[in-house]
Structure 1
Amino acid sequence: MVQQIGHLPMGWLMLALLAMLASGGFFVGRVHAERFSGPGSARAHSRPNYHGYYVAMWTFVPAMIVALGYGLFGDGIVRSMLSSELPANFQDMPRVELDVYLNSIARAAFHHGYSGSDRVFSAITNRFLELQGLIKAATIVLALVCAATGFLLARRRVAPGFRARNRVESGIEIFLFLCAAIAIATTIGIVASLLYESLRFFAEIPFWDFLFGTRWNAQTSAEFGALPLFFGTFMIALIAMLIAAPVGLFAAIYLSEYAGPKVRGWVKPILEILAGIPTVVYGFFALLVVAPAIRSIAIWINTTLISTGLASEPLLAAQPTSALAAGLVMGIMVIPFVSSLSDDVINAVPQTLRDAAYAMGATKSETVKHVVLPAALPGIIASLLLAVSRAIGETMIVVMAAGQRARISADPTADFTTITVQIVALLTGETEFDSPKTLSAFALGLVLFVVTLFFNLIALRVVQKYREKYD
């Protein structure tokens, strides 16, 4: 019986249980409040629905806390109990090997048991299911007890003078605060983990050697000069913005100032479809279409220059993968970020400014150039900086189309590597989190985080400084 409980999908079970408890609490609280809120009754402070919400809240929250506790600690408790029951030869195993073995047990238990010939493994899997079922049953019972306790206490407080509305609104405020706190705590956790692992890396590799070194060979833990990675990252982002900035901005100007309602209704959604295409699709397009085309053009340029005597050797690298291919496709991907944000900003410019310009005899183009764009400039700059941050942090396109070579070169047809490419390469496959090779990925991630944060802060500062200028 306990093993059968271990097979139950705990997530769906707890979700259904919490929904029923909350619904039951709301119904009972509302029905009880309606008894003293009818005609001829004493005037109640809150509507019956608020009393129902109050009872439902105190029925739901304690059970929810128990469910979250199981989600966070349930698996660890089961593993700890199982580890204490294992034979002595398992107790002497290294911790890493024991964790791998327990992971195998957990996978077998997830697939409803083990049917192989290993009797020891089968017995341990069955015991894991028993302990898991025991913990799940205890969690369900504890959730019911806590929900019943909260229900009874809340039910007793339902009365005409009880300020249920204030309590419910306070509960909603606490919930919203917790959501914001979770977001902040997640950010702090990400920064703390990056900073901790990066400090471990810089304890072995000098910071200045990492930041300004020109040779990168992290796969052999030999050289960690990341300057070529920074160069490749910013070069590809620059190429992308040379495409996205003018195209996106001019598209936004056309849609907001010149296009009719029908044209705008068709063109704007089609432009925004580009933002919904998976980046791996862009990567395939860059690798299979754009990169070969750029290589063919570069080879033709080299051949033409040599045949005409303008050059004695090829000037362009003409590699199968290149920064130019990745940058061009990334620029296409970033166009919706620039066009959509810029379009919203331009549309937000007050119509009175346009009318005043027309009254002074300005033409349509003069109004756009001298009135609308200056008024919308802070938002446009913010959209461009946010697009730069998006381009710098892109992974799949550069992984597939930019190449793997760490170099500093002005030739865009050469293959480059970037920060995101190296992070993927360093953290793929078997990793040792005590080696400089793996720790360098965290240092690169920290640099990437700081750079994107810097651009985002500049964008926010520009918007805050000039937001009221044209009101």
Structure 2
Amino acid sequence: MPIFWILLIVLAIAAIGYVAGRARALASAGGDIRALHSLPSYYGWNAAIKAMVPAFLLIIVWLIVQPIYVSSVVSGMLSDGAIPNSSSRGLVMAEVRRVAEGLDNAVAAGVIGEDAARSARADVIDITQRLKDAGQIVTSQITQPVLRAAQHFRIMHSTGNMMMTVAALALAVLGALWAIRENRAEFRARNIVETSVRILLISAASIAILTTIGIVLSLVFNTLEFFRLYPASDFFFGLTWSPSFSGRGGSSQLGVLPLLWGTFYISVVALAVAVPIGLFSAIYLSEYASPRVRAIAKPMLEVLAGIPTIVYGLFALLTVGPLLLSVFGADGLGWMKAGTAVMTAGLVMGVMLIPFVSSLSDDIINAVPQSMRDGSYGLGATKSETIRQVVLPAALPGIVGAILLAASRAIGETMIVVLGAGAAARLSLNPFEAMTTVTAKIVSQLTGDADFASPEALVAFALGMTLFVLTLGLNILALYIVRKYREQYE
């Protein structure tokens, strides 16, 4: 049975439990609500929660554990002779899953009978041809071990789903009956329901923490595996980035410094564009603009933050790059050889960062107490002098925090760099040359059929870990500065 229908049935059982639990509590009190410990709705929710929560938890755990268990059992069926020399066991298991899915679809479409899909004597050539005719697989020929493994995979998967359905529905019914049985007038249903809701809220708040921990652990373990295959000194201090996908990394040069330099250089150009424009925009909107102009200009400026980065990348590739090339290229000053360059990506990324700097700075400037402005005016200062000598110094810690947050956003940008800056990893001071960043190389290293046993694929995790540490440091510094500012003026 599909998961959607299982969830609907469990919800229906919970709804029935709610009504029955509420009625049971009222009946035990003789219909007098005042005789109940809790409101009638709490008794209903007690039954609904005890029907839903155990069933949903069972489904979640089952869906996580079953694929792992089935894959391990089916993988154990494949002998070493069934795996070609050019393939890994993981690739063969991916083929097994594709064939199993193809058999499921073919059986559902009536192309292959259920008996033929399960039979151990099924002809491999005939099954392959039928699946091809049904448009289910793209491989040239299914091997006998793969077909047998796929058949066993289907049987275990369908059996597991049936067992999960029975267990989840039985657990929901038993939970509802148990709650209905204990719903008496003196039962403290409110305490049970409020505790359940508190646990739910704590679990929801823990998801972000657990997700962060999972991301960090995955980066750490794969980074350690990379450094087991490739020297850490060559990675952190190497001046050449030249991955080679032959010889299992023996001829690769994976120095991260050119990528860090490109990331830093493009981010500096972007901040050189975004910080002045964003800061001046914030000063105008907070100190000079009328309420009507502010109500129109601020939302229009923040629209830039909602534009997808791929659109900015296309703008850099098709508009800004050719425009810079016409001025600084061979027909102009002769400094630029192609439209993809640090300057192209930096200018477009700076436009993207303007609303980050402007919105944060605007909020920070508005947070400066009006009494400080009034005191400056009372001493005879003009509006511009008040802004320069009172407002901006008071808001400086928050503005610095906004700039650092924008810098961390620039460091993590990918699509604008891929389309606007090129893919050359080099150490150069010329902003009109093509360069690349850490994020762009993470994409390129993991694009295609990556063998995660090679340094060329695992280096993406080392790059990600390096980038994670840099952005985390910037974010911590920015949050520290902002919190210090808030403690001073709030």
TM-score (norm. length: structure 1): 0.86
C-alpha contact (below 8 Å) 1:29/1:158 kept by paired residues? yes
CA gap of 1:167–1:366, structure 2 versus 1, over 3 A, is farther
Amino acid at match of 1:330: M
Match of 1:456 in 2: 475
Amino acid at match of 1:52: G
Amino acid at match of 2:9: L
- After TM superposition, the structure 1 = structure 2 runs for residues 262-341 of structure 1, keeping only pairs within 5 Å, are 262-299=292-329, 303=333, 316-341=335-360
Match of 1:137 in 2: 162
Match of 2:373 in 1: 354
Give deviations 1:2-31, integer Å, cap 9, x for gaps.
xxx4xxx42x22332333233233333333
Measured after TM superposition, the shift of residue 339 of structure 1 is: 1.6
Counterpart-to-counterpart distance in 2, 1:27 and 1:349: 55
Measured after TM superposition, the shift of residue 230 of structure 1 is: 0.7
Match of 2:176 in 1: 151
- After TM superposition, the structure 1 = structure 2 runs for residues 312-461 of structure 1, keeping only pairs within 5 Å, are 316-461=335-480
Measured after TM superposition, the shift of residue 367 of structure 1 is: 3.3
C-alpha contact (below 8 Å) 2:397/2:481 kept by paired residues? yes
Measured after TM superposition, the shift of residue 249 of structure 1 is: 1.7
Query: Which piece of structure 1 moves more, 110-119 or 360-369?
Result: 110-119
C-alpha contact (below 8 Å) 1:378/1:467 kept by paired residues? no
Counterpart-to-counterpart distance in 1, 2:18 and 2:282: 49
Give deviations 1:397-451, integer Å, cap 9, x for gaps.
1011111111111110100021111111111112121222112211111110100
Give deviations 1:23-53, integer Å, cap 9, x for gaps.
2333333333444678855443322222222
CA gap of 1:209–1:85, structure 2 versus 1, over 3 A, is closer
Amino acid at match of 1:250: F
Give deviations 1:320-365, integer Å, cap 9, x for gaps.
3101000111111111211222222233333444344444444333
Measured after TM superposition, the shift of residue 79 of structure 1 is: 4.5
C-alpha contact (below 8 Å) 1:51/1:165 kept by paired residues? yes
Amino acid at match of 1:19: L
Counterpart-to-counterpart distance in 2, 1:25 and 1:460: 48
Match of 1:190 in 2: 215
Match of 2:118 in 1: none
Amino acid at match of 1:273: V
Measured after TM superposition, the shift of residue 142 of structure 1 is: 0.6
C-alpha contact (below 8 Å) 2:43/2:190 kept by paired residues? yes
CA gap of 1:235–1:86, structure 2 versus 1, over 3 A, is closer
Counterpart-to-counterpart distance in 2, 1:50 and 1:373: 55
Structure 2: 5+ residue runs without aligned partners?
Answer: 113-123, 132-146
Match of 1:306 in 2: none
Amino acid at match of 2:367: A
Amino acid at match of 1:69: V
C-alpha contact (below 8 Å) 2:97/2:153 kept by paired residues? no
C-alpha contact (below 8 Å) 1:36/1:42 kept by paired residues? no
Query: Which piece of structure 1 moves more, 242-251 or 43-52?
Result: 43-52
Match of 1:310 in 2: none
CA gap of 1:396–1:106, structure 2 versus 1, over 3 A, is farther
Which of residues 235, 238, 246 in structure 1 aligns to 2:265?
Answer: 235
Which of residues 243, 249, 252 in structure 2 aligns to 1:218?
Answer: 243
Query: Which piece of structure 1 moves more, 167-176 or 236-245?
Result: 167-176
Counterpart-to-counterpart distance in 2, 1:360 and 1:154: 73
Which of residues 283, 303, 313 in structure 2 aligns to 1:253?
Answer: 283
Counterpart-to-counterpart distance in 2, 1:356 and 1:50: 57
CA gap of 1:324–1:161, structure 2 versus 1, over 3 A, is same
Measured after TM superposition, the shift of residue 200 of structure 1 is: 2.2
Counterpart-to-counterpart distance in 2, 1:438 and 1:92: 21
CA gap of 1:19–1:274, structure 2 versus 1, over 3 A, is farther
CA gap of 1:214–1:339, structure 2 versus 1, over 3 A, is same
Which of residues 56, 60, 76 in structure 1 aligns to 2:48?
Answer: 56
Give deviations 1:206-240, integer Å, cap 9, x for gaps.
32322122111123542122211111100000011
Counterpart-to-counterpart distance in 1, 2:239 and 2:152: 56
Counterpart-to-counterpart distance in 2, 1:350 and 1:234: 36
Match of 1:311 in 2: none
C-alpha contact (below 8 Å) 1:46/1:163 kept by paired residues? yes
CA gap of 1:409–1:40, structure 2 versus 1, over 3 A, is closer
Secondary structure of the residue that 1:469 maps to in structure 2? helix
Match of 1:168 in 2: 193
Aligned-residue identity in percent: 45
Match of 2:138 in 1: none
Measured after TM superposition, the shift of residue 80 of structure 1 is: 5.3
- Measured on the aligned residues, the alpha-carbon RMSD in Å equals 2.9
Amino acid at match of 1:65: L
Match of 2:227 in 1: 202
C-alpha contact (below 8 Å) 1:216/1:226 kept by paired residues? yes
Measured after TM superposition, the shift of residue 202 of structure 1 is: 2.0
CA gap of 1:22–1:338, structure 2 versus 1, over 3 A, is farther
C-alpha contact (below 8 Å) 1:14/1:67 kept by paired residues? no
Amino acid at match of 1:264: R
CA gap of 1:131–1:198, structure 2 versus 1, over 3 A, is closer
C-alpha contact (below 8 Å) 2:330/2:336 kept by paired residues? no
Query: Which piece of structure 1 moves more, 79-88 or 189-198?
Result: 79-88
TM-score (norm. length: structure 2): 0.83
Amino acid at match of 1:188: I
C-alpha contact (below 8 Å) 1:37/1:44 kept by paired residues? yes
Amino acid at match of 1:103: R
Match of 2:119 in 1: none
C-alpha contact (below 8 Å) 1:286/1:329 kept by paired residues? yes
Measured after TM superposition, the shift of residue 302 of structure 1 is: 5.9
Query: Which piece of structure 1 moves more, 12-21 or 280-289?
Result: 12-21
Counterpart-to-counterpart distance in 2, 1:297 and 1:110: 60
Amino acid at match of 2:264: F
